[in-house]
């Protein structure tokens, strides 16, 4: 009898050791949470406004790392997402603009089919892959998420959608979809996206998963149920009131996603990333980018510099603030490194692996130089200096280490530095291709006043 219990004890011990070893070696999950049109100032962890209620997003940043010099590769939605999904400067494959409403054969618009997405790679690595929210990378069947590496999709294909009681739309291209089937969605859309993200995690918690959650909050049209509006009922600025209400809803659903990861015992094995697809369009939705200059649609800092946080319990130490320049293109190689997937040379990635930096394993400069072309506007940041040309042809040179608001133009005072950056930009621009379609701003520059004060362009 004693030998029998001894054998049972040994078996249980081996089972425990095997389970523990498996938990430690199990490939990590990845969750990307993307906000839409969120201002640089508009999350609590940025430390600006007490009126902002984002406790779940703030906790994510507090327990991980936040970057103060984080950028996206374009100041508008679709190209920014194309860069994120491919890890490449999207101007290299012609995805430079959102589509104009009147471009010929709008059906050709979409992330070019010869581009490999992060979802393609993760799916090939036997990850369950899901996209839940706003797609905006093409509406025709060949451009849709489930043709671009995602096993599952819930959301809409276009660039914007209403939030309340969504019905199947005539024609169906921008209807809420489950997979490729249009569906009615009675729930507030931000809550529905949160619900579906939680469901995906629940169904795939026993296998490695890659989950992309591009919320459409806080993009217009503005709408929020009364319970999300109540904390801001004293605000007289309607747009700001609604933006904060929608942001509150976004944060609550981010909290649900994090809670599900935690309750499933996956927090130690899940890399979570939060940021915005571009700067806030203040005129449209009441977002705030100050102390940065400019807005969505511009290559001023307010259009391209975004709040960014990364969390991985047990792997990334909390309370970290990193001031180095990074860009959303870095997420592709960082995710490959985190999951142990070897990058293929044919990916031609422009980003760098940030994992050694955030884990404190190595000190290095992630990027000396970053570039943007949103023709006819463009910009280059080299070290702390930034050279740019606005849509109306005005040029500026700024030292961002001393002038984050881009107020003091050093073009006349430092012509040699301007020439140096111009040469670098020209060399990079020579590697780009012609945009595959015109953007809605093409040929419609801002007026001089708007260029000088950083007023928002319509999108």
Q: Are strands 152-156 and 177-178 parallel, antiparallel or unpaired?
A: antiparallel
Predicted local confidence at residue 106, as pLDDT = 64
Residue 404: name the closest of 421, 424, 431, 381 by CA.
381
The set of residues, in sequence order, having a beta carbon less than 8 Å from that of 358 and lying 6+ positions away, is 64, 65, 310, 316, 320, 322
- Distance, CA of 277 to chain centre: 4
pLDDT, tens digit only, all 459 positions of the chain? 444 443 444 333 333 333 333 334 589 999 999 999 999 999 999 999 888 999 999 999 999 999 999 999 999 999 999 999 999 999 999 999 998 665 656 667 899 999 999 999 999 999 999 999 999 999 999 999 999 999 999 999 999 999 999 999 877 889 999 999 999 999 999 999 999 999 999 999 999 999 999 999 999 999 999 999 999 999 999 999 999 999 999 999 999 999 999 999 999 999 999 999 999 999 999 999 999 999 999 999 999 999 999 999 999 999 999 999 999 999 999 999 999 998 888 899 999 999 999 999 988 999 999 999 999 999 999 999 999 999 999 999 999 999 999 999 999 999 999 999 999 999 999 999 999 998 765 333 333 333 333 333 333
**Rounded Cα gap, residues 302 and 278, in angstroms:** 8
Helices (H), 111-237: 118-124, 189-204, 226-229
Strand segments, DSSP code E, in 291-359 are: 308-311, 320-327
What positions carry a catalytic annotation?
77, 136
Residue 299: name the closest of 76, 89, 82 by CA.
76
Question: Look-up: residue for tokens 């700024």?
Answer: 398
Predicted local confidence at residue 50, as pLDDT = 87
Give yes or no for a contact between 234 and 226, defined as CB atoms under 8 angstroms apart: no
- CATH placement of domain 371-453: 3.30.1120.10
181 φ/ψ angles, rounded to the nearest 5 degrees: -110, 120
55-62 and 238-263 helices, crossing angle to 10°: 50
Residue 152: name the closest of 135, 183, 130 by CA.
130
Give yes or no for a contact between 397 and 408, defined as CB atoms under 8 angstroms apart: no
Domain spans of the chain, in order of start: 26-363, 371-453
Fold of 26-363: Alkaline Phosphatase, subunit A (3.40.720)
**Rounded Cα gap, residues 159 and 137, in angstroms:** 9
Residue 447 DSSP code: P
């Amino acid at each position: 009898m004693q030998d029998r219990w001894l054998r049972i004890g040994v078996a249980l011990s081996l089972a425990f050791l095997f389970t523990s070893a498996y938990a430690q070696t199990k490939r990590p999950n990845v969750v990307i949470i993307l906000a839409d049109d969120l201002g640089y100032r508009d999350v609590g962890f940025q430390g600006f406004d007490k009126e902002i209620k984002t406790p779940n997003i703030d906790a994510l940043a507090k327990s991980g790392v936040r970057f103060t010099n984080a950028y996206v590769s374009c100041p508008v939605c679709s190209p920014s997402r194309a860069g994120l999904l491919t890890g490449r400067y999207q101007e290299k494959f012609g995805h430079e603009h959102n589509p104009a409403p009147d471009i010929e054969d709008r059906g050709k618009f979409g992330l070019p089919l010869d581009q490999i997405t992060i979802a393609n790679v993760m799916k090939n690595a036997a990850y369950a892959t899901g996209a839940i929210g706003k797609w905006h990378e093409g509406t025709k069947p060949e451009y849709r998420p489930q043709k671009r590496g995602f096993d599952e999709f819930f959301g809409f294909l276009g660039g914007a959608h209403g939030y309340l009681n969504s019905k199947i739309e005539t024609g169906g291209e921008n209807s809420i979809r489950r997979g490729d089937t249009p569906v009615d969605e009675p729930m507030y859309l931000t809550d529905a996206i949160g619900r579906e993200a939680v469901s995906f995690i629940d169904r795939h918690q026993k296998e490695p998963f890659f989950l992309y959650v591009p919320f459409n909050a806080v993009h217009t049209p503005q709408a929020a149920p009364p319970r999300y509006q109540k904390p801001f009922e004293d605000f007289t600025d309607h747009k700001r009131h609604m933006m904060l209400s929608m942001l509150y809803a976004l944060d609550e659903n981010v909290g649900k996603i994090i809670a599900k990861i935690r309750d499933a015992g996956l927090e130690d094995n899940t890399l979570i990333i939060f940021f915005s697809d571009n700067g806030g369009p203040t005129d449209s939705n009441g977002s705030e980018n100050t102390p940065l200059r400019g807005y969505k649609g511009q290559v001023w800092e307010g259009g391209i510099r975004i709040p960014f946080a990364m969390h991985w319990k047990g792997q990334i130490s909390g309370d970290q603030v990193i001031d180095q320049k990074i860009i959303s293109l870095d997420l592709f190689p960082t995710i490959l490194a985190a999951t142990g997937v070897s990058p293929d040379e044919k990916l031609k990635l422009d980003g760098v692996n940030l994992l050694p930096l955030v884990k404190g394993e190595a000190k290095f400069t992630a990027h000396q130089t970053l570039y943007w072309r949103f023709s006819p506007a463009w910009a280059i940041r080299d070290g702390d200096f930034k050279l740019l040309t606005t849509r109306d042809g005005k040029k500026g040179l700024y030292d961002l280490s001393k002038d984050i608001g881009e107020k003091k133009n050093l073009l006349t005072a430092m012509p040699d530095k301007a020439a140096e950056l111009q040469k670098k930009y020209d060399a990079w621009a020579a590697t780009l291709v012609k945009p595959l379609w015109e953007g809605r701003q093409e040929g419609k520059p801002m007026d001089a006043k708007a260029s000088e004060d950083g007023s928002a362009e319509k999108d």
